[in-house]
Amino acid sequence: MIDSGCTAEWHPSAYIRHGLGRTVLDYLIITNADQDHLSDLAGLAAQSVYVKTLTRNRHPPPDVLRAMKQQSGGVTDDMEQYLALHSTYTVDATEPFDLHMGGITLKTFANPYPLFQNTNDLSLVAFIQYSAFKIVFPGDLEEAGWLALLQRPEFCAALRGVNVFVASHHGRENGYCEPVFAHCHPQVVVTSDKSIIHDTQLMTPIYRQRVLDHENGVLVANTGERRHVLTTRRDGHILFRVNDNNYTVETEKQG
């Protein structure tokens, strides 16, 4: 599972425990240590779902992160749970992600503390790949954080071949970094957003320009539309079905 965000109607903890009938979450990847990325983390504990392996940026240390959160509005129950996990999962995983995932691979990158002292630029950037399909989840990384990671050749190499680019910081302007697209040429950009908050919708035309190397975008199977940018606000749940040769896209809403 990538992040543990929830809505009033849907909680991943309840789905895992009652929908899937599982009490163990094999891999939890947290891309950003802010409430919207953690909002059902306490729910996992309440549902007695055990997190077997946690992947996140190990920076900053728990005491520094707690102080940062206390200064910016307080420590929620979900943040308390994250801090507990952050303090506990301190050694490398005995069963790395790639070992049991049937060919699905994970590569992660993150900036260090104290080079960066805000949670956005300390986001974990996660690349998930299967066969020729690659998707990147950059958390809430802002331009300065992007530029620092672009100094690393292995990060630039990971950007190549990305099909699906999840817009950083829910599509806000401060999550956009144009030099990224010298290395990354996605077929579609996905924005996880909602009603107009923090001007998240204003960047859609800019992101659309970044995918025009693929002038036909992607075909949404259940609507027949070809799209360059998908948003949870307009499209609802977005489903990618991946096989050995290609992938298909379906959206909850019909247009």
Distance of alpha carbon 41 from alpha carbon 32, whole angstroms: 13
Which pLDDT value is given to residue 254? 80
User: Biggest alpha carbon distance in the chain?
Assistant: 51
Which tokens belong to 32? 């950003």
3-state secondary structure 206-240: HHHHHCCCCCCCEEECCCCCEECEEEHHHHCCEEE
Q: Which CATH architecture has domain 101-255?
A: 4-Layer Sandwich (3.60)
- All CATH 3.60.15.10 domain ranges in the chain, comma separated: 101-255
In terms of Cα–Cα distance, which of 110, 95, 188, 99 is closest to 154? 110
Residue from 6, 61, 59, 1 nearest 192 by CA? 6
238-242/247-251 β-pairing = antiparallel
The pLDDT value recorded for residue 212 is: 80
pLDDT digits (tens, 9 = 90+) for 22-57: 999 999 999 999 999 999 999 999 999 999 999 999
Q: What residues in the chain have per-residue pLDDT under 70? A: 195-201, 255
Task: Take residue 211 and report the two structure tokens written for it.
Answer: 């995918």
pLDDT of residue 215: 84
The structure's pTM equals 0.95
Q: Give me the pLDDT at residue 73, please.
A: 86
φ/ψ of 69, rounded to 5, equals -70, -35
Give the separation between CA 220 and CA 91, rounded to whole angstroms. 42
